[in-house]
């Protein structure tokens, strides 16, 4: 479990490097909601929800 936090931190840093500055807070918030899910199925459902919110 201890390795998850550095991995997530590096993933977030690498992801946000490709996001325009004005959108970084929103993208980070969306990704955090996905990481907060307790299992894979919930995370996939949250990803689908985030993708649909982004498209509107």
pLDDT digits (tens, 9 = 90+) for 3-53: 568 888 899 999 999 999 999 999 999 999 999 999 999 999 999 999 998
Contact between residue 30 and residue 54 where contact means Cβ atoms under 8 Å apart = yes
CA-to-CA dists, residue 51 to 14, 18, 40, angstroms:
19, 17, 16
CA-to-CA dists, residue 43 to 21, 47, 50, angstroms:
25, 6, 10
The domain total for the chain is 1
User: What domain range includes position 33?
Assistant: 4-55
For the chain, the residue count is: 56
pTM: 0.79
């Amino acid at each position: 479990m201890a390795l998850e936090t550095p991995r997530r931190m590096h993933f977030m840093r690498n992801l946000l490097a490709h996001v325009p500055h004005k959108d970084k807070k929103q993208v980070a918030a969306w990704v955090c909601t996905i990481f907060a899910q307790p299992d894979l199925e919930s995370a996939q459902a949250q990803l689908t929800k985030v993708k649909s919110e982004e498209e509107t």
